[in-house]
Amino acid sequence: MTRRSSWLHRETSVAQAFERRAARADLLAQGSINAAALGFAAGLYRVQAQLAAALARAIAQGVELTGAVDRDLGACGEQLDAIVRYAGEAGPPGLRAEVDSYASQGVARLYEWWRRSRSGRTDYLARAVLRPYAETLVAGGVAPEPFAGPAPAVAGCASCGGPAWIAWRRSGSGDEAAQRFLGCGVCGSERELGRIACAACGETAPEKLAVFQTERHPAARIEACDACQRYVKSIDLTVDGLAVPEIDDLCSLSMDLWATDQGYERLEPSLAGV
């Protein structure tokens, strides 16, 4: 199984990769019924880019990241606060409530999440704040500190331990069938996954793996598992080669709502928190 950091910053900086995501979200927001979610995502990516840029400056000045969040982010309070502030001002009501709670806990909440969870399902705000840090670590080949508690129930990213939050398919080389990949919601790493396998529990029995699509969103599909009742959204890059999966995901939020109504749980919440 191949694992590597996000293709978005292989030829550019992590901060620039966040800016590219913001530009894609702005483009898709034009005329979309999900413009609010896409607009929020664009703004979030831009404040995340500020943290990534601050970390890049520190590294350029000789600071070595260790993977221990309290040591590495001690001088980045301004950028951390900017992400939290944006979430409180522009985020959906549920996220704004989390920001109010964060005010009484501060960075200790981020440290706890980093050491014990790294899932947006347990703390969406912490994932949003620390994602630029996680991407910077992995892009630089620095291993994050190990979990302080039990490992997550669902097998996570080999780079940071975080869960996958989006899948995509792209053409294989030559006559090969389209390849299937999972993207980590914490550090942006991607890993190749078998074409017939549940992203959560690894189930491979075809009769237990359901796929749901709609003509309204031809590039998106729900890949669900009746063994564990989880699903992941998958974006087909052979339909739209310009798609950025985690962003284009937000164009088909109605599919997530439908899957939830059918009793499935998304492996990891999207940027919209669904």
- Claim to verify: residue 176 and residue 244 sit in the same structural domain: yes
**Is 197 within a domain?**
yes
- Claim to verify: residue 170 and residue 132 sit in the same structural domain: no
Residue entry with tokens 């080669």: 241
| Average confidence (pLDDT) over 80-104 | 90
| Average confidence (pLDDT) over 39-43 | 97
What are 232's two structure tokens? Answer: 């992941």
pLDDT of residue 1: 37
| Average confidence (pLDDT) over 2-22 | 73
Query: What's the CA gap between 121 and 132, in Å, rounded?
Result: 18
pLDDT score of 169 more than 60:
yes
Lowest mean pLDDT among 37-51, 78-92, 123-137, 162-176: 162-176
pLDDT of residue 117: 92
pLDDT band at 186 (very low <50, low <70, confident <90, very high): very high
pLDDT score of 31 more than 50:
yes
**Is 150 within a domain?**
no
Helix (H/G/I), strand (E/B), else coil: 176: coil
Lowest mean pLDDT among 192-196, 234-238, 249-253: 192-196
- Claim to verify: residue 65 and residue 112 sit in the same structural domain: yes
**Is 152 within a domain?**
no
- Claim to verify: residue 118 and residue 220 sit in the same structural domain: no
Which long-range CB contacts under 8 A does 68-71 form with residues at least 24 apart?
68/145, 69/110, 69/111, 69/114, 69/115, 69/130, 69/133, 69/145, 70/107, 70/111
Percent share of the chain, pLDDT over 90: 76
Helix (H/G/I), strand (E/B), else coil: 125: helix
The domain in which residue 203 lies consists of: 164-266
pLDDT band at 3 (very low <50, low <70, confident <90, very high): very low
Nearest to 181 by CA among 144, 232, 229: 232
Tally the domains of the chain: 2
**Is 228 within a domain?**
yes
Residue entry with tokens 């359901």: 210
pLDDT digits (tens, 9 = 90+) for 144-165: 999 987 666 666 899 999 999 9
Lowest mean pLDDT among 87-101, 149-163, 234-248, 257-271: 149-163
| Cβ contacts of 126 within 8 Å, gap of 6 or more | 109, 110, 113, 114, 117
- Helix (H) or strand (E) holding 26, with range, is helix 14-29
What are 147's two structure tokens? Answer: 């979990």
Query: What's the CA gap between 194 and 32, in Å, rounded?
Result: 33
| Average confidence (pLDDT) over 95-107 | 88
pLDDT band at 119 (very low <50, low <70, confident <90, very high): very high
pLDDT of residue 173: 63
pLDDT band at 166 (very low <50, low <70, confident <90, very high): very high
What are 249's two structure tokens? Answer: 């995901």
pLDDT of residue 231: 96
What are 233's two structure tokens? Answer: 């959204």
- Rg from Cα positions in the chain: 18
| Average confidence (pLDDT) over 54-71 | 96
- Claim to verify: residue 10 and residue 134 sit in the same structural domain: yes
- Helix (H) or strand (E) holding 44, with range, is helix 35-60
Chain centroid, CA 148 distance in Å = 22
**Is 195 within a domain?**
yes
